[in-house]
Structure 1
Amino acid sequence: MNDLLKIYRDSNQLDFEKIWKEGTFVFDANVLLDLYRLPESAKNDLLGVLQNDNFKDRIWIGFQVFLEYLSNRLSVIGDQKNMFAKVKTATLSTIEKINTINAEYKSEIDNHKLSQRHALINPEHFLNDSSFKKSTKIFRKFVKHLEKLEKQQADVNDSDKLRDLITTIFENKIGSTLTKEELEDIYKEGVKRYANKIPPGYMDNKKDGSYYFKENEYIRKYGDLTFWKEIIKHAKKQKLKYLVLVTGDVKEDWWEEKRGRKISARKELLNEIYTECPDLEVFYLYNTSSFLQFAKKEIDNNIKDSSIDETFKLISNYYNERAIKIGDISPNKKEYLKQLYSLNQSISTNHLKLQDVNSQLSKLNLYRDNLYEKSNPLDDIRELAHNLAYTEEEYTEEINEIQNRLNLDMEIQKRLIEKLKLEE
């Protein structure tokens, strides 16, 4: 009965404090490759978490992941470099279109001979060569900006400092390669699993090609399944109690989805890993964005929503109990209560802002996940999904700013309450 309930429990039944303090966090290849795609500050945030003293000893990647990362690293770097040419071409093409539209518009207006035939209509006052040049000037300015950025973008022949850093971060935290016999057994099992759509990996059934290392062939379409088997082997050997997989993969062969939202790992995965690993209490999934959002809260000790709620209620109750007596109290108490009231309003406002921005970030994460799910790695829409990381970064920065203000207000309130108690 307990095993069954463990598979079907809700996330609100999990002890996330223990998971973040004691759990082993496993990362897939997409997370490592996304480090090349993320904006600089978001990339540094993620790298900072991986190197955090309270976290760095509890991270791990499978051999399959490291092999995929090394095999695809140059392609991602090349894609990032090539994107400049694509965007530049699109921008220059738009400039040409604006010039063409301007010429066509002028020709059509000239045919109407407005200056001779109409007393009021004068398009030259609004739409002239100068106004069109202003619009194209913005595009040309963007082209120059792109050219400057392109010089900063690493290319495939450049020294890859990020690879060196990732290798250092995961030194002695990478799984050993599976034997040839183990891989062959996985591939045989994969044929049956994929035919019956048993997760993970069946969504990659059309992938071609292989990676090679020594005598082993790593067939690409069985990459997720191989990685999954590595995770189970590692969890079982280490007798892990809490295990979290952080993945950039949002396909249905990993995630349980309800009403358009990815809520947990597939039940088949939970059943398999809990059966194979009797010591494991929790297996949990984060996508990269959710991991970074919660890592900032848990690893950096940022303020929790529950703490905001509790403080808000405490201060509200304390103020309300004494507000009716404000005329009968000492000047010091009166001043402290006035300050508490002001801080209370600030906390209330910022709390609502925090909820709103978190909601917007969640919607953006869901939208980005859906873009990934409906696209292939080389699709232009996939690039749009990666570019949404810029907006995610802005939301995350805004969340941090609001949380910092709340932290400061709460510290001040704490001191004011202490002063009030001394006045009692």
Structure 2
Amino acid sequence: MKELFKGYYRPSESEFQEIWKSATFVLDANMLLNMYRYPEEARTQLFTVLQSIAPQLWVPYQAALEFQRNRLTVIAEQKKRFSEVRKVLENYEKGIISELDNLQLKKRHSSIQVDELVSALGEKITNFIEKLEQLEATQLSVTDNDPIREKLDKLLEGKIGEPFSQEEINKIYQEGEIRFKDEIPPGYKDYKKENENKNDIFTYGGIIYKRKYGDLVLWKQILDKALQDSIKSIVFLTDDEKEDWWWITESQGKKKVGPRPELVQEISKYAGNKFFYMYNSEQFLRYSKEFLNTNVTDESISQVGEIATESEIKFSNRYSVMRKLEYLACKYVLAWLKNRYYNSIVVENERRFPDYIVHDSKSGKSLGFEVKLSRDPYATKFILRDQQYRGYYEIKEGSLDEITFVFVTLDEETASKMLQILQRNSIQLPPGVSLIIGLLNLENETDFTSEFCPLAEFNRDIL
């Protein structure tokens, strides 16, 4: 019976001993990205544990690609925390002073004296902010050399899988349509969150990727690795908490029992795999003490668990917000295009890239417009470098006469920094490629023609 229903059986204690000795440990992108969120001591201890099993580590190409694409966003997120804390403290001090002033105690009460309290509080906050600024000066920035990635590069050298070809990727997408409709894991949770628009698609290395199939592509790479190398035991290390990876049951609250039984069955059938198991980062550190005799502290285990859970929740919430903002950015840029080219035909591009095509009645040209929502000004130059030659290729192939990348920001400060960065780096645009930086005003949701406000426009002769 156990052979028929492997996914419903947890490995025995002796089997776990065997797994930890000989298994290939597969790292997900979120495990690598969370390295930037952990306190230094917890990060050091996690690195030490990973180094102790270095020969057993492997990273699917999809996970490595997602790590590289999201690394700067996580670094910027950590840097932003300093200004957020500073703002909270300053507002807190101002709020207390304002509330006490409203009471007019000097005029209306003879014995309550708050000047000493306010002075002491202000001094404490000022001292803390000074220490905060000192810490901020040492915090990793998006433009700094990255010692964390350097350590990961060294640890994972020669341990990254190969990418799939476009033909292989396309077959996985076709299979994914069927799997996700039937909620066959993994990845159907991401499929439900994504809308079929340009933000679902990106390119790298000449391959066109759809983000909603990312987990399925990763899973297929794990399956192929297990088959090609005849791997009998695989442990997948992931901080993804969704039910399309984990077998979750109700027992005085939701409990993760282990990997989804369907996944265990699929890898066993496909690759003859004997064991497939999963740990999140907290579980991995905790059980490393038992099976690897590591010296990980309980404090580090607790910190890693809290941060991994928090980042997953924030990612889920932020993901929904970003989808809405990206939709609004496209919607309002489209309205602006229709207003700007009011005598021309403006259409959404069925080929997905670029987003919109304007058949200009004045020039007779086909003009492409690709919309990019940007909340991180430092990442803009990398996105532009990655995308501009894709646009130039469309021009050379004759699909378009010109293409414009429209970077949409949500505030003037981000737009201003973006302009400074682009001008400072002297980015060379290919012929026919231009750039617009603009602001999305979300205060008025009815006058669609005035929501997107272009602030600057560049072509290869200006930038």
Category of TM-score, reference length = shorter chain:
0.5 to 0.7
* Paired position in structure 2 for 1:170: 156
| Match of residue 25 from structure 2 | 25
Partner residue, 1:421: none
More strand, by proportion: 2
Quick one: structure 1 residues 130 and 89, their matched pair in 2 at CA, closer, same or farther if it must change by over 3 Å? same
TM-score by length of 2: 0.62
TM superposition shift of 1:302: 5.5
d(CA) in 2 for partners of 1:178, 1:368: 29
Say whether the 8 Å CA contact 2:7–2:260 is kept in structure 1: no
User: Residue 286 of structure 2 aligns with which residue?
Assistant: 293
Partner of 2:214: 223
Runs of 4+ in 1 over 6 A off after TM superposition: 360-364
1:148 aligns with 2:134: yes
Structure 2 gaps of 5+ residues are 322-463
Distance (Å, rounded) in 2 between the aligned partners of 1:366 and 1:37: 11
Which deviates the most, 226-235 or 198-207?
Answer: 198-207
Contact 2:285/2:301 (CA < 8 Å) preserved in 1?
no
Give the letter for the 1:78 counterpart: A
Output the CA distance in 2 between the equivalents of 1:190 and 1:92.
50
Shift of 1:379: 7.8
**If the length of structure 1 is used for normalisation, what is the TM-score?**
0.67
- Paired residue for 1:187? 173
8 A Cα contact 1:36 1:76, kept in partner: yes
SS at match of 1:162: helix
Structure 1 residue 249 displacement after superposition: 0.6
Letter in 1 for 2:20: W
**Superposed displacement of residue 271, structure 1:** 1.8
Residue 199 of structure 1 pairs with residue 185 of structure 2: yes
Alpha-carbon offset, residue 258 of structure 1: 1.8
Aligned partner (choices 369, 377, 400) of residue 309 of structure 2: 369
Q: Aligned Cα RMSD in Å?
A: 2.9
1:375-421 CA-to-partner distances (Å, cap 9, x unmatched) read 5263899xxxxxxxxxxxxxxxxxxxxxxxxxxxxxxxxxxxxxxxx
* Aligned-partner Cα distance in 1 for 2:40–2:308: 19
Partner of 1:65: 63
Aligned residue for 2:78? Answer: 80
Matched residue pairs, number?
A: 313
Distance in 2, matches of 1:99 and 1:374, equals: 33
Correspondent of 2:224 among 212, 220, 233: 233
After superposition, residues 19-168 of structure 1 pair within 5 angstroms as 19-52=19-52, 55-105=53-103, 107=104, 109=105, 113-115=108-110, 122-124=111-113, 128-168=114-154
Given candidates 260, 266, 269, the residue that maps to 1:272 is 266
- Alignment partner of 2:4: what SS? helix
Instruction: Please report how far the alpha carbon of residue 153 of structure 1 lies from its aligned counterpart in structure 2 after TM superposition.
Output: 0.8
Check the 8 A contact 2:248/2:255 in 1, yes or no. Answer: yes
Larger RCO: 1 or 2 (CA < 8 Å, sep 6+): 1
Q: Is the 8 A contact 1:255 1:263 kept in 2?
A: yes
Please state how far the C-alpha of 1:14 moved relative to its aligned partner.
6.2
Distance (Å, rounded) in 2 between the aligned partners of 1:35 and 1:83: 16
Identity fraction in percent = 34
2:318 paired residue among 343, 359, 378: 378
Change (3 A) 1:11 1:42: same
Paired residues of 2:42 and 2:301 also in contact (CA < 8 A): no
Trace 1:253-402 onto structure 2 (pairs within 5 A).
253-259=244-250, 260-278=254-272, 280-301=273-294, 365=305, 369=309, 372-373=312-313, 376=316, 378=318
> Aligned in 2, Cα 1:100/1:123: closer, same or farther, shift over 3 Å?
same
**Structure 2: which amino acid aligns with 1:179?**
S
Q: Is the 8 A contact 1:209 1:220 kept in 2?
A: yes
Call closer, same or farther: CA 1:263–1:367 in 2, change over 3 Å.
farther
Contact 1:261 1:366 in 2 (8 A): no
| Cα 1:214–1:255 shift into 2, 3 Å | same
